Structure 1
Amino acid sequence: MKGLILLFDTQPDRLKQARRFLLDHGHDIHTVGSPEAAVHSLEMQSFDLAFYTGGSDLVLELLKKSKALQPGMEVLVSSEKPTVEAAIEAIKGGAFYYLSTPSSLEKIALLISKALERRLLSTEVSELRDIIRGYSNKQIIGESPAIQDLKKTLKRIARIDCNILICGETGTGKELVAKTIHAMSHSADKKFLALNCGALAEDLLSNELFGHEKGAFTGANSLKKGIFEAASQGTLLLDEIGDTTAAMQVKLLRVLQENRILRVGGTQEIPVNVRVLAATHVNLQDAVSAGTFREDLYYRLNSFTLRIPALRERRDDIPLFCRFFIDQYRKKFGKQALSVSRDVMSVFMRYPFPGNIRELKNVIERAVALCDGQEIQTEHLPPRLLKTGSPAAPESHLPLRTLEEVAAAHIRAVLAQTKGNKAKAARILGIDRSSLWRKLKKLGIS
């Protein structure tokens, strides 16, 4: 049984010896030289197991902090001056085992293997319990008040058969929320399908939504079912609903009212039974006021509204995302244990992240690919983060700008860096080309 292990020992030579031994047993090892570094690593990255060696008071304090930061992680502690009282306190505090120092490396390896087996079993039981209860919102990362409220709301509304409107900026995770609603619903065993309404011309969108009859147009050599039919009894996400044309809005309103669709080229209406979720980065209330979105369709879609906060509104969750993405890409690239340096985290906490979670994900992927050590440094970050994320003291005499002005300035800077290459700029910003085009149009950038 292999795992990612956090290793701390007050004796450097003993630490190096244990690291070499456990690496030879196939484990991924992250070593730290101080209790503060151990706590910092726990804040930055998820571990399967931690093994602490030192004085009783020190290892017990680390055990307490470890269980507070990562409750599901197994912990082994080894004391240089063991006592019965300390052993009892360690076991009560959640330690898998309390050792005396020195202990043979073979015994340590055996205990680690058993602890990792227990962690795996515990994880599987927890996941099965969530599946049985219908709770599947663990992929929604975050401990901020806004995200905790969102998770509670999802549990309340996921099993209610109503249409839901999901609002949020590009890259905030609207589709993930939609998938979570489906996974927690009564139709979790049915299909979940999503379609980006803003990425297709109206004719193509009609064909994807409603399908077509054989011979409906040149090249229609066979009947094709649309996504409304394909998602029967399941869940359909209409992404970027705010970008649809007035004519398409009329068609969608009729489907939602009548629960029937008409294939392109068809004459026979077909009943459909599907739960519709809609997502948008547009403020639909403003669009209704401006006359660009039908009010009756808005109320049809808006039985319940969920607002997904932007990453800059939940900065306390950034370390959690860093741990999640680092673990994901560390495995993808075959790297050893990695963490984020304090300087890098400081940059992240100041940077506005106009591309939200998707942009942070891309930044972490790049940094993990470039990092050859155990800690991601500022040199592994894209230059734009260092410019925007640096302390603002030299510009303190300048007037404060709105978020829209900051976003516009950042997008212009990226476009200048890419010499106007919008495809490359979109990749850097962590958004797709259609989203970049909409931002450019909205901000008046040519």
Structure 2
Amino acid sequence: MSELSDNLAEEGPPRPLLLLVDDEQAHLESLERIFQRAGYGVITAENGEQAIDCLRMHPVAVVLTDLVMPRTDGFAVLKAAQTLRPQALVVLMTAYGTVDNALTAIRQGAWDFVTKPIKRNGLLTCIERALRHRQLQMENQNLRARLHAVAPEGGLVGNSDGMRHLKATLEQVAPSSATVLILGESGTGKELCAREIHRHSNRSGGPFVAVNCAALPDTILEAELFGHEKGAFTGAEMQKIGRFERANGGTLLLDEVGDIPLAMQVKLLRVLQENEVERLGGDGPIPIDVRVIAATNTDLKQQIKEGRFREDLYYRLDVITLQMPPLRERADDIPLLLPLMLGRFNDKHQKSIRGFSDDALDVLSSWSYPGNVRELENAVERAVVLCPAETIELSHLPPVMADAPIGPTPTPSQSHDSGLVFQPGMTMEQLERAAIEATLKHTQGDKNLTAQLLGISLRTLYRRLGES
């Protein structure tokens, strides 16, 4: 494996870094000279194993790899690049007789391929196009990030430990092409999580298509997923494009995937393995480029034991797992959710409600929410519709909530977990200090957020802490 080319050490803006992979030493050296003279930063690898090591160590922009190599071939390098450097583009070099394999690699996410013998000008043009495409992708992602920072519309809301962990994992997962399995109780926001993955991915410009597998009868579900040709069955009066084809170039969410019947699971597995779909009544496969996200509120491992879900399909879906925390485990997020929901339902129902009474807020903050965020949304929308004034009262909440005791006494474990311990006779200064320290612990030392949660300025927080 060669070291980084000397031209990377020159002054000025960093040049795009190319990784060249070929097991033919003479051809590799020829490629290296071509790109060095063109001003690129270059690293080389003499086999697939070295290429994967390079991907781990260097911020590669484009990979140019031979397709046919011993042990670790171009397909393996492609998959490694998609995992280790998801923003890198892969171009394959192939002999005339392996063009079909190269086309397969394109369907699996390669940017382009060039055939041997390679012409210098054509190769440089291909790489320049790949780099321009990558630059546009990165600019679009940066623009979306800036817009999201200003107006994070529709994103995952919450600052609890569970939500912070979920969002951190999501940021790592989204740019890859890996299949994701989202687990969580009904109403926790699994579809919203899937949309966030799509929004932060390289496929965000493509379609996001969702299908609830539990909401459709078996006979209709198959046609919805895979599509059908005219006359494929009684009532098929015209051709129908299935959800997989509609999601081409984007993301498909299979919600409640555990409800797909066994017979259809076999067909779904083949689609995931081959990246192609066959319509009912069709005469051949249709290539697709779709990222699949599956979601379920059932225990798929238990379904496997009971013979109701295929184990091979489970492992095909379970590349990366995200767990949606139930609302009862992130009650600290409710004060963040309520103003957003209130604003949304004010707009929807043309109201101008300003907030909640203390009693209503106490009940909303302490309810166990077996229906999770969806139940909270329903409660707030009901209250907005029924409230005739500017403040939502306890009587505007659903009866099961309105009749609940207000201000439940926390259990010892809850008091211990919060870090707040109040003793009779403590001074107000001591109480204030305890509240600040507990909030700092909850926010993991984030003083800006601590000040916001306590309703004081950052300057006041520093003063109370005795810091300049």
Question: What's the TM-score, normalizing by structure 2?
Answer: 0.54
Aligned positions of 1:34-433 closer than 5 A: 129-131=145-147, 139-388=155-404, 390=406
CA contact (8 A) 1:136 1:180 kept: no
Higher alpha-carbon deviation: 334-343 or 359-368: 334-343
> What amino acid maps onto 1:178 in structure 2?
A
> What amino acid maps onto 1:175 in structure 2?
E
Counterpart secondary structure, 1:165 = strand
Distance change (3 Å), C-alpha of 1:354 and 1:132: closer
Alpha-carbon distance, 1:217 to partner: 1.4
> What amino acid maps onto 2:323 in structure 1?
R
Counterpart secondary structure, 2:214 = helix
Counterpart secondary structure, 1:208 = helix
CA contact (8 A) 1:158 1:184 kept: yes
> What amino acid maps onto 1:211 in structure 2?
G
Distance change (3 Å), C-alpha of 1:259 and 1:352: same
Alpha-carbon distance, 1:319 to partner: 1.2
Equivalent residue number for residue 424 of structure 2: none
Distance 1:219 1:385 in 2: 48
Identity %: 47
Distance change (3 Å), C-alpha of 1:129 and 1:211: closer
Distance 1:343 1:192 in 2: 41
Structure 2 unaligned spans of 5+: 1-141, 412-468
Q: Deviations over 1:43-75 (max 9, x none)?
A: xxxxxxxxxxxxxxxxxxxxxxxxxxxxxxxxx
Alpha-carbon distance, 1:141 to partner: 0.8
Question: What's the TM-score, normalizing by structure 1?
Answer: 0.57
Q: Deviations over 1:168-206 (max 9, x none)?
A: 111111111101100110011001000001111111001
Alpha-carbon distance, 1:386 to partner: 2.7
Count residues with an aligned counterpart.
268
Distance change (3 Å), C-alpha of 1:129 and 1:156: closer
CA RMSD of aligned residues (A): 2.3
Alpha-carbon distance, 1:138 to partner: 6.1
CA contact (8 A) 1:235 1:277 kept: yes
CA contact (8 A) 1:195 1:239 kept: yes
Equivalent residue number for residue 74 of structure 2: none
Q: Deviations over 1:278-322 (max 9, x none)?
A: 000112122222322111111100100000011111101111111
> What amino acid maps onto 1:221 in structure 2?
E
> What amino acid maps onto 2:186 in structure 1?
T
> What amino acid maps onto 2:372 in structure 1?
N
Distance 1:164 1:129 in 2: 22
Distance 1:176 1:266 in 2: 34
Counterpart secondary structure, 1:345 = helix
Distance 1:177 1:137 in 2: 13
CA contact (8 A) 1:234 1:275 kept: yes
Alpha-carbon distance, 1:390 to partner: 4.9
> What amino acid maps onto 1:247 in structure 2?
A
Distance change (3 Å), C-alpha of 1:138 and 1:370: closer
CA contact (8 A) 2:359 2:406 kept: no
Distance 1:332 1:265 in 2: 44
CA contact (8 A) 1:130 1:136 kept: no
Structure (1 or 2) with the larger CA radius of gyration = 2
Structure 1 unaligned spans of 5+: 1-125, 397-446
Bigger RCO of structures 1 and 2 (CA < 8 A, at least 6 apart): 1
CA contact (8 A) 1:172 1:309 kept: yes
